Chain A
Amino acid sequence: MVAYFTEIFTGLMSLFIGMGITFKEFFKPTVTVSYPYETLTMSARYRGHIELVENEEGNSQCVVCGLCEKACPSDCITLAGEKPEGGKKKVLTKYMLDFTKCSLCGSCVESCSFGAITFSKEYNLASTKKEDFYFDLLKRLEERNT
């Protein structure tokens, strides 16, 4: 009998203690941001989809060695290049990223010894069409320059 009433009493107490905590929390400052009206800056090492790095002239630094293409576990990267007439080095003519398959592992960025690709800070990437995720990185680079 005593145990029965003690249990009711301690049980009720435990509920009040819990409510006290939620009550205190209620007056604490808000910690969330109301996205999309407010956004946070991405951390410096944030990994978005990859992007081409430009050199001083605004061209890609890529030498079309194809190492990134080989390193990618999911075959996301398709690239092509050609030697311009009279030129010595190959010039990038096409760099396609199939972001539908990319897992942001970073193998491509690490395999490139020329620093020609890097991670972007892009994260607003919702779309209803699959085609929107086939990125032409060379075109994006040109768009950035204009």
Chain B
Amino acid sequence: MNSPILLQPDETFILNVGPQHPATHGVLRVKMEMNGEYIVNAETVIGYIHRMHEKMGELKTYPQFLMNLSRMDYLGALGYSHGHVLLVEKASGIVVPERAEYIRAIMVELNRIASHLFWFGAFVMDLGGFSPLMYALQDREHILDMLEAVTGSRLTYCYFRFGGLYNDVDDDFITAARQFIPRMRKSMKKYHKLVTGNIIFRKRLEGIAPLSKEMCRKYGASSAVARGSGINFDVRKNEPYSVYPEFDFDVPVYHECDSLARYMVRMDEIEQSLRIVEQGLDKLPGGPIMPDKKPKLIKPPVGDYYQAVETARGSFGIRLVSDGGKNPYRLKLRSPTYSNMHLFDEACRGMMIMDALAFMGSLDLVIPEIDR
């Protein structure tokens, strides 16, 4: 389908996309060798907003590093903090009260919905439709208001603590969250009518940018990129952590492997997250949100620890090597978008440029998270 017309190799030209291209939501540069409208070769250039988070992890004490995690992915910040606190708790043997874990799961899922909503709006905008972004942002605003009322910030939360939470949720939050669920379900119907059914939208995604299972495995892709290619992998199910085993939810998997499949996975995930929030609110136990004996000085024993979590962007892994000191000896952050993005170079060969940009949108890239 996407076979380039035969031109002489010296008839290709170089097209520089970015570093400030509006369709890439961040500072990513793609060097494309073009043959007419077809891509012959593409090379993604990253690192424009490298902030040395891993090095900072070594230099700062454990509590001081808490806020860094939410600066990695500004859309789904809580998922990353969740991985970090779980890891340090595992390493230093801190037991988290049940209520705190439930609240964490609810918050992470709400944050995931907010992230997916933003992606949905931005993705459709990349394809040329503006109004869905406005509707998505309106729904997202409800989540941000709820999270702000509890955590104090709207985007770069610093809410989780080792052992528990910064502060408890109140009744207002619970009422707001309960009201939000039916509202969101109604909106989802609207989005499916407005966007999913739209012929222009479908024509631009259906059968475009097929990603084979092998390619996803080769690059270590996760999230909707892998699940849209028929790989049933979700850390919440496969390596359960926190209170996720208590919840009844499905992992949406599509086998079409195209951009539309990736879109559908994320849209279905919103519904699954709503289910988790609903069950979490029903089951929310009482009790403290911090352990009785607040851990004072965090000094995990010597060892090598790893924790993976499913964030809005895929499986985020964090590895800690401790030498028993106040700071980690080494803190490695495995960023999911980093792997998801790198298959772009290979997958977009022979694609038309507008399809490639739609494909890039379907990967849901958050550049600060790649650069770290």
Please give the residue numbers on chain A whose beta carbons come within 8 Å of chain B beta carbons, in ascending order. 7, 10-12, 14-15, 17-18, 21-22, 25, 31, 43-47, 71-73, 103-107, 110, 119
Flag whether B45 is at the interface (Cβ < 8 A). no
Which of B63, B131, B149 has a CB less than 8 Å from the CB of A25? B131
The interface-forming segment of B82-90, B192-200, B217-225 is B192-200
> Cβ of B152 and Cβ of A25 under 8 Å apart?
no
> Cβ of A31 and Cβ of B166 under 8 Å apart?
no
> Cβ of A47 and Cβ of B64 under 8 Å apart?
no
B-side interface residues, number (CB < 8 Å): 31
Interface residues of B in 121-164 (CB under 8 A from A): 131, 135, 138, 141, 145, 148-153, 156, 158
Q: A44-B149, A45-B167 are in contact. Are A31 and B158 (CB under 8 A)?
A: no
Question: Which residues of chain A are near B64, meaning CB under 8 Å?
Answer: 71-73, 107
User: Measured between alpha carbons, how far is A19 from B68 in the docked complex, in Å?
Assistant: 43
Question: Which residues of chain B are near A21, meaning CB under 8 Å?
Answer: 190, 193-194
Which of B65, B198, B199 has a CB less than 8 Å from the CB of A73? B65
Question: Which residues of chain A are near B194, meaning CB under 8 Å?
Answer: 17-18, 21-22
Which of A11, A12, A103 has a CB less than 8 Å from the CB of B156? A103
Question: Which residues of chain A are near B200, meaning CB under 8 Å?
Answer: 15
> Cβ of B135 and Cβ of A46 under 8 Å apart?
no
A39 CB to nearest chain B CB (Å):
15
User: Measured between alpha carbons, how far is A75 from B149 in the docked complex, in Å?
Assistant: 27
Which of A14, A22, A47 has a CB less than 8 Å from the CB of B153? A47
> Cβ of B152 and Cβ of A73 under 8 Å apart?
no
User: Measured between alpha carbons, how far is A93 from B71 in the docked complex, in Å?
Assistant: 34
Q: A103-B67, A106-B166 are in contact. Are A46 and B199 (CB under 8 A)?
A: no
Residue of A nearest to B146 (CB): A43
User: Measured between alpha carbons, how far is A12 from B131 in the docked complex, in Å?
Assistant: 18
Which of A10, A103, A106 has a CB less than 8 Å from the CB of B199? A10
User: Measured between alpha carbons, how far is A46 from B150 in the docked complex, in Å?
Assistant: 9
Q: A15-B198, A21-B193, A105-B66 are in contact. Are A73 and B60 (CB under 8 A)?
A: yes
Question: Which residues of chain A are near B63, meaning CB under 8 Å?
Answer: 71, 107
Question: Which residues of chain B are near A7, meaning CB under 8 Å?
Answer: 199
Interface string of B182-205 (1 = CB under 8 A from A): 000000001001110111100000
B201 CB to nearest chain A CB (Å):
9
Interface residues of B in 56-75 (CB under 8 A from A): 60, 63-68, 71
Question: Which residues of chain A are near B193, meaning CB under 8 Å?
Answer: 17-18, 21
> Cβ of B198 and Cβ of A18 under 8 Å apart?
yes
Question: Which residues of chain B are near A107, meaning CB under 8 Å?
Answer: 63-64, 66-67
B50 CB to nearest chain A CB (Å):
18
User: Measured between alpha carbons, how far is A32 from B68 in the docked complex, in Å?
Assistant: 31
Question: Which residues of chain A are near B66, meaning CB under 8 Å?
Answer: 105, 107
> Cβ of B151 and Cβ of A45 under 8 Å apart?
yes
Q: A18-B194, A47-B152, A47-B153 are in contact. List 4 more A-B contacts (CB 8 A).
A: A7-B199, A17-B197, A73-B60, A104-B152
User: Measured between alpha carbons, how far is A117 from B195 in the docked complex, in Å?
Assistant: 49
5 A-B contact pairs sorted by A residue (CB < 8 Å): A21-B194, A47-B153, A73-B65, A104-B158, A105-B67
Most buried by B among A15, A22, A119: A22
User: Measured between alpha carbons, how far is A87 from B166 in the docked complex, in Å?
Assistant: 36
Question: Which residues of chain B are near A119, meaning CB under 8 Å?
Answer: 152
Question: Which residues of chain A are near B141, meaning CB under 8 Å?
Answer: 31
User: Measured between alpha carbons, how far is A75 from B28 in the docked complex, in Å?
Assistant: 31
Q: A25-B135, A104-B153 are in contact. Are A46 and B148 (CB under 8 A)?
A: yes
Which of A14, A22, A43, A110 has a CB less than 8 Å from the CB of B197? A14
User: Measured between alpha carbons, how far is A20 from B152 in the docked complex, in Å?
Assistant: 38
